[in-house]
Amino acid sequence: MADDRPEKILAALGGADNIVEIEPCITRLRCELEDGSLVDEAALKALGAHGVMRSGNVVQVVVGPEADTIASDIEDLL
Amino acid sequence: MTLRVASPVAGRVVPLSEVPDPVFSQAMVGPGVAVEPDRTAAEVVSPVDGTVVTLHPHAFVVATAEGAAVLVHLGIDTVKRKGEGFSLHVVKGETVRAGQAVVSWDPAEVEAAGFSPICPVVALDATAEALGDLADGTAVTAGDALFTWTR
């Protein structure tokens, strides 16, 4: 992906230091975070996320079918 | 044009809102229907003619030449099965016909492992108004029409 969306999504998740694991699942990024409260939900939605589901430090960001690509781009940034 | 979207599995068609996952029940990635599958081992078939653009053991997306992409998800949270119980018949990027086998699975096994085997079939990035003739409430076999998608 040529745009800077993965970088911005990573920032909205609290940055690389906050990521324990990111796993793509077809339509969403399942993110296990050090601190779920650092997530900027409004920023994720502004970046095109269809929805954000939080359960403590596990946050799922619904990004649509590009999830696989976005996740691997984020992995490259970690 | 109007695209006919076929059921990937045999079972009973239910509204997407009955799927126990907000991504699907709130139609976050698009409208569609879900199929509560018959609890027998079966081949899951492609809902449309197109290219397999995304492929996981438990889910796949087929995009038509016109760019209409249909998501088939086999069960809920089944990514956690890590492919166990799913046997792929195609590779990513392969051209498939509607009705062609994509993956084999056993909904009964998925259910026994503690997961809902319900299968959302979603018209990605479509509007709800674009779908018609939804087969809600009916019994279908794999390949039967689930809905039409006007684009």
Cβ pair A51:B23 closer than 8 A: yes
What pairs with residue A23 in β-bridges?
A30
Taken in order of first residue, the domains within chain B and their CATH numbers are 2-150 (2.70.70.10)
Domain that residue A70 falls in: 5-77
Question: Which residues fall within 8 angstroms of residue B146, CB to CB, at 6 or more apart?
Answer: B5, B6, B7, B13, B32, B33, B35, B47, B121, B134, B135, B140
- What residues of A are in contact with residue B71 (Cβ under 8 Å)? 26-27, 65
**What are the pLDDT digits (tens) for B35-66?**
999 999 999 999 999 999 999 999 999 999 99
Most A-contacting residue of B51, B60, B79, B82 (CB-CB within 10 A), to test interface: B79
Q: Is the complex ipTM more than 0.90?
A: no
**Are B41 and B105 contacting, i.e. CB atoms less than 8 angstroms apart?**
yes
**Structure-model confidence comparison of residues B97 and B125, the more confident one:** B97
**What are the pLDDT digits (tens) for A41-67?**
999 999 999 999 998 999 999 998 889
Amino acid, single-letter form, for residue A49: A
Percentage of chain B exceeding pLDDT 90: 95
CATH number at residue A55: 3.30.1360.60
Mean of pLDDT values over B87-115: 97
Cβ pair B23:A65 closer than 8 A: no
Pairing state between β A19-25 and B95-96: unpaired
| Confidence check: pLDDT of B131 > 60 | yes
pLDDT band (50, 70, 90) for residue A1: very low
Both tokens assigned to B130:
């674009």
| Confidence check: pLDDT of B67 > 70 | yes
pLDDT of residue B80: 87
pLDDT of residue A65: 81
Amino acid, single-letter form, for residue B98: A
Q: Which among B79, A43, A13 has a CA at the least distance from the CA of A74?
A: A13
Amino acid, single-letter form, for residue B19: V
How many angstroms separate the CA atoms of A67 and A26, rounded?
6
| Confidence check: pLDDT of A2 > 60 | no
* 3-class secondary structure, A13: coil
**DSSP 8-class letter at B9:** S
For chain A, the domain total comes to: 1
Residue among A23, A60, A62 whose CB faces B29 most closely: A62
Mean of pLDDT values over A11-37: 93
Write phi, then psi, for B14 (nearest 5 degrees).
Answer: -130, 160
**Interchain contact A1–B (C-beta under 8 A):** no
